[in-house]
Amino acid sequence: MEKFRIFGGARLAGTVTISGAKNAALPCLAATLLTAEPVYLLGLPRVRDILTMEKVLAILGEHCEHQNGTTTVVMGRATETHAPYELVRTMRASVLVLGPLVAARQRARVALPGGCAIGARPIDFHLAALAQLGADIRLEHGDVVAEAPNGLRGAEITFPKVTVTGTENLLMAASLAVGRTVLRGCAREPEVCDLAAMLQAMGARISGAGTDTIEVEGVGELGGCTHRVIPDRIEAGTYLMAALLLGDGVRIEGCVPAHLAAVLELLAAAGATFTTEEHALVVPRQDRPLSGFSLTTREYPGFPTDLQAQAMALATQAQGRSEVVETIFENRFHHVLELKRLGAEITVEGHRAIVQGPRRLQGTTVMASDLRASAALVLAGLVAEGETIVDRIYHLDRGYEAMEAKLARLGARIARFNPGPFV
């Protein structure tokens, strides 16, 4: 099992270029199921979740070809409708094929994703909303089966709670439904807007993406398109925190700072200095440590839960008390115990963690438990004295493209190694 070895304390300087957003790329890949024409997707990150989605599409009869940064998705056998458990269990977001399959092929069979490390994460809102579009939904041998032999029909749907992939699934399904769909309580994430932009380029009629009410006028068919996915705001936010911890002048290139507004506002209030350009964040060496800060994770445009763990690593080096409240997921504090093993002082009460900083971190072996927790451990390892081994980095590989190479180019002392099967 591969690990990272990090020697902490190295200063970071130079330019890091942000990859395309995994969470935009996944629904965009799923949306290719809605058309028989080729789709050209630009800027997909080369991370494991994308490879998994491409495998799911291959099972569903599509081919993905890669050339010069463009992924071409071509429909082959458009008859398969079953996304099996072997793939879905490795990536919950496989559930994004449910909406497009039932809309375009009148039938979908998708294994029910199992529990995952950051809470129960059910898909009941996806299913209830698809049922409102007229899909017949049932559970068979651990798979969700959705059928609409006569096609889907537009409806007025209110999500009981904001769900990102739920909103995306419904946007895709409603694009091919007969008549008008009004979706209320929608996620407003930039990734939802990106999917809407791609669907519009395919011929869908969508208005209101980026607000909590989205209207979709169904069309008879969708065509191919060329679409570039937006940059990964979570990756950009992670490098921003690395630069605040250890930077001697870091330029984070190819990101959209506007997508990080809540994060930038909070960090600026804690004393961080940086400048923003339309597509870059420039972080000079910090004159003094940040002061402790309070953050509460919220749906976009609030502070993203996907940066909560990394912010906690940052808080270990801030002056005084920080408070981190997680409201989106239960059980998203697995990184706390590992950060404590490195020397952080953190107490957790329910959904609230209190971090006392600054604390001297000392390298040891730590275990990654999920994608974003892994990034937090890497940040802590970059700061810690001596050697830190981050185990189970396959979590990190799901969503960060070439993280060790990007950090090493900035001057970090980090390497991937494989100790062999028995270690």
Q: Catalytic residues, which ones? A: 116
CA end-to-end distance (rounded Å), the chain: 8
How far is Cα 212 from Cα 218, in angstroms, rounded to an integer? Answer: 19
What's the min distance (Å) between Cβ of 376 and ligand UD1?
14
- Site residues for ligand UD1, 212-271, by CB under 6 A, read none
Which region, judged by CB under 6 A, interacts with ligand UD1, from 1-9, 158-166, 207-215, 224-232?
158-166
Position 187: which residue type?
Answer: A
Nearer to ligand UD1 by C-beta: 163 or 316? 163
Does residue 104 sit in helix, strand or coil? Answer: helix
Does residue 116 sit in helix, strand or coil? Answer: strand
Residue 124 sits in the site that holds ligand UD1 (CB under 6 A)? yes
Site for ligand UD1 (CB under 6 A): how many residues? Answer: 21
| Cβ pair 145, 137 in contact under 8 A | yes
| Cβ pair 297, 326 in contact under 8 A | yes
421 strand-pairing partners: none
| Identified binder of ligand UD1 from the candidate list 122, 142, 179, 419, rule CB under 6 A | 122
Alpha helices for 184-276 (secondary structure H): 190-201, 233-246, 261-269
| Identified binder of ligand UD1 from the candidate list 143, 306, 326, 401, rule CB under 6 A | 306
Number of helical H runs and strand E runs in the chain = 14, 24
| Identified binder of ligand UD1 from the candidate list 123, 241, 309, 373, rule CB under 6 A | 123
**Binding string, residues 331-370; x marks residues near ligand UD1 by CB under 6 A:** ----------------------------------------
- Site residues for ligand UD1, 381-420, by CB under 6 A, read none
What's the min distance (Å) between Cβ of 167 and ligand UD1?
8
Cβ-count burial of 90 within 10 angstroms (0-12 exposed, 13-18 middle, 19+ buried)?
A: middle
Write phi, then psi, for 268 (nearest 5 degrees). -65, -40
Assigned token pair, 419: 């100790």
How far is Cα 335 from Cα 72, in angstroms, rounded to an integer? Answer: 37
How far is Cα 147 from Cα 81, in angstroms, rounded to an integer? Answer: 10
What's the min distance (Å) between Cβ of 96 and ligand UD1?
7
Nearer to ligand UD1 by C-beta: 165 or 388? 165
Residue 138 sits in the site that holds ligand UD1 (CB under 6 A)? no
| Identified binder of ligand UD1 from the candidate list 104, 229, 328, 342, rule CB under 6 A | 328
Which region, judged by CB under 6 A, interacts with ligand UD1, from 76-84, 117-125, 348-356, 388-396?
117-125
How far is Cα 230 from Cα 46, in angstroms, rounded to an integer? Answer: 14
What's the min distance (Å) between Cβ of 127 and ligand UD1?
7
Residue 94 sits in the site that holds ligand UD1 (CB under 6 A)? no
DSSP 370: S
What's the min distance (Å) between Cβ of 183 and ligand UD1?
14
Residue 298 sits in the site that holds ligand UD1 (CB under 6 A)? no
Residues of this chain that interact with ligand UD1 (CB under 6 A) are: 23, 26, 92-93, 119, 121-126, 161, 163-166, 191, 305-306, 328-329
